[in-house]
Amino acid sequence: MTSSRKSILYKILKWRYRNISNKNFILLLSIIVGFTAGLVSLLLKNLTHLIQVVLQSDVISWQTSFYFIIPVIGLLIVYIFTKYIIKRDVRSAIPLILNSLSKKNGIIKPIHGYLPLILAPITVGFGGSVGLLGPAIGSGSTISSDICSLFKLSEKTRFLLIGCAAAGAISAVFKSPLAGLVFAVEVFSLDLTLTSLLPLLFASVSAILTSYFFLGDEVLFRFDVIEKFDIYDTPFYIILGIGTAVASIYFTKMYFGILHFFDRFSKKIHRLLIGGFAIGGLLYFIPPLYGEGIGFINDLLRGDHYTAIGETPFDTITSNIWVVIGLLVGITIFKAVAMTATFAAGGSGGIFIPTMVMGSALGNVVSKVINNLGLGLEVSEANFTLLGMAGLIAGVLHAPLTSIFLIAEITSSYELFVPLMITTGISFFISKNSIEHNIYNRELAEQGELLTHNKDQTVLTLMNLEDCIETNFIAVQPHFTLKQLLSEAVAKSNRNLFPVTNDENELIGMVSLDDIRDIMFDITLYHKVKVETLMSQIKASIVYEEDNAKTVMRKFQDTGAWNLPVIKNGKYHGFISKSKLLTSYRRKLINFTG
């Protein structure tokens, strides 16, 4: 940044501090963040639509004959762009955000946040079976992070504004402000207090107004609830809840299983070819797997399952309703496969809308089975389609409240509130007990660095151990005599601990003043006693590369020690004292909770 730009920024910051309170400034920024998140969502949607229109036009007359090649072409464009132009890998948006919140104080590198604006439309437009919501949230969150860095805002404010970006993106895409707000709380573990509620609301409203300004009354899903809640349908809602729970577990395990399979291929081009042709083959037999699948959901909500399924090799027998049910079951099963193959092959996108597609197919299947068993039973297929979407969101993303408010706002009605609570509650309970962490946060949870609503655990996760390490300890070597220990270490240090290291600076023991207090004034022992006979063994140590504040706190508790040595790259690095760790914890807690 040039000196003139720095001077202008300094004047702006100075004026801001003098004239706008911190609370009002955050509210102003939340409006800006919501507006930009709305614009990003619209940009992603329009770019993707443009690509799909071009591919489906007469300009590319061969697209039907070589349908299975289109995803490969799209993934190849993404591959060339990432390998030769920007020379960076694609990363999933929401796991990237959670990682930045946990490990990097919410700072997101611009390249990771803005890259999906280009790559996601290419991936989805060419048939990649992923969604655009994740990239929209990622880009909006990057803008929030950059704004916070520009105005030198605190870590807590950065977390809040990143949550505002997520709320804004969902509000703009679905025109559902409450679902956006709840998503930020459930997935990003924000505390829903008055301090955070107003910025989240302002961001959601700003984003939805942006969407209305550019799109008018156009909505992603349009549906009015006609058939209201009937208490006698409760057993079917329970069945659907169990079904969506099983499907959620399948979705998650299939996701990690396919990614693990693709990890066997060291070359990215091999992953691209295998994944691309696999997606193309699935698209040939199951056309609704193409792209996001929004049209598929809308067709099911209208009751037009023939249009939803599209042209398939089975068109001659789709007059049989059980063939239709079988094809919908295929969509339920293979949507997770196509989505994960897209990611594994190098594509960019999100999992939120694919989850909804899979849920809508499953809900429709359950209702069709009930209606065609010949038992005189009848349920609303459209309602079950919506409930299936909610059940999968609750089960896969572990976000039951988001799913309830999302469907309620999509339908502009709370008539389905009770069925939604039954289905999502059962789905969430079963899936959460089977798979503790969702797709977004599993990796961080395994590392013990996941932010949660538990303030104690969150503060420990956010603590930086580097701030607690003290290096003003004088190290001695095992061959030192008692006189050398006293003259070269004790006399020159204000500490009562002295690490014992070898020639390679590896820690082999420790000497404390209590160990030598009885003999330190006995001059007859000055040249007879050596450090190797005085030192004590290390009970426990802190491994710099592996341990976090949570494990360090546990080591202090288990050993009863007041100081523990830190080992970095196998070498002695310093000490962490319990008092220093607790002081740092208290400071972080005060800053984080405001």
Please write the tens of the pLDDT for every residue from 289-348: 888 888 899 889 888 888 888 777 766 676 788 888 998 999 999 999 999 999 999 888
Angle, in degrees to the nearest 10, between helices 70-80 and 268-285: 150
470: left (phi over 0), alpha (psi -120 to 50) or beta: beta
Question: The tokens 């202090």 sit on which residue?
Answer: 556
Task: Judge whether residue 60 has pLDDT over 50.
Answer: no
Task: Judge whether residue 205 has pLDDT over 90.
Answer: yes
Share of the chain above pLDDT 90, in %: 28
pLDDT of residue 558: 85
- Assign 19 a pLDDT band (cuts: 50, 70, 90): confident
- Assign 64 a pLDDT band (cuts: 50, 70, 90): very low
Please state, as a whole number, how many other Cβ atoms lie within 10 Å of the Cβ of residue 16.
Answer: 14
pLDDT of residue 424: 95
Strands 542-543 and 563-568: parallel
Structural contact between residues 222 and 298, judged by C-beta atoms closer than 8 angstroms: yes
pLDDT digit string, tens, across residues 142-187 = 999 988 888 888 888 888 999 999 999 999 988 888 899 999 888 8
pLDDT of residue 422: 95
Question: What Cα–Cα distance (Å) separates residue 105 from each residue in 112, 114, 142, 467?
Answer: 16, 19, 13, 14
Rg (CA), the chain: 29
Report how far residue 217's alpha carbon sits from residue 191's, in angstroms, rounded to the nearest whole number.
Answer: 32
Structural contact between residues 559 and 583, judged by C-beta atoms closer than 8 angstroms: no
pLDDT digit string, tens, across residues 470-523 = 888 888 898 888 888 888 888 888 888 889 998 888 899 898 888 888 888 888
- Assign 59 a pLDDT band (cuts: 50, 70, 90): very low
pLDDT digit string, tens, across residues 91-127 = 777 888 887 777 777 788 888 778 888 899 999 988 8
pLDDT of residue 583: 80
If one compares 295 and 247, the residue with the highest pLDDT of the two is 247
Annotate 288-338 with DSSP letters as a single string. Answer: GGSSS-HHHHHHHHTT-HHHHH-S-TTGGGTTSHHHHHHHHHHHHHHHHHH
Task: Judge whether residue 46 has pLDDT over 70.
Answer: yes
Domains of the chain: 3-215 (1.10.3080.10), 231-447 (1.10.3080.10), 457-593 (3.10.580.10)
**Mean model confidence pLDDT for the chain:** 85
Question: The tokens 């091999």 sit on which residue?
Answer: 270
- Assign 37 a pLDDT band (cuts: 50, 70, 90): very high
Task: Judge whether residue 57 has pLDDT over 80.
Answer: no
pLDDT digit string, tens, across residues 528-558 = 888 888 888 888 888 888 888 888 888 888 8
Closest C-alpha among 381, 383, 361 to residue 244? 361
- Assign 284 a pLDDT band (cuts: 50, 70, 90): confident
Average pLDDT over residues 34-44: 92
Report how far residue 213's alpha carbon sits from residue 366's, in angstroms, rounded to the nearest whole number.
Answer: 38
Is the pTM higher than 0.85? The answer reads no
Structural contact between residues 240 and 233, judged by C-beta atoms closer than 8 angstroms: no
Least confident of 189-193, 378-382, 519-523: 189-193
Average pLDDT over residues 28-35: 93
- Assign 189 a pLDDT band (cuts: 50, 70, 90): confident
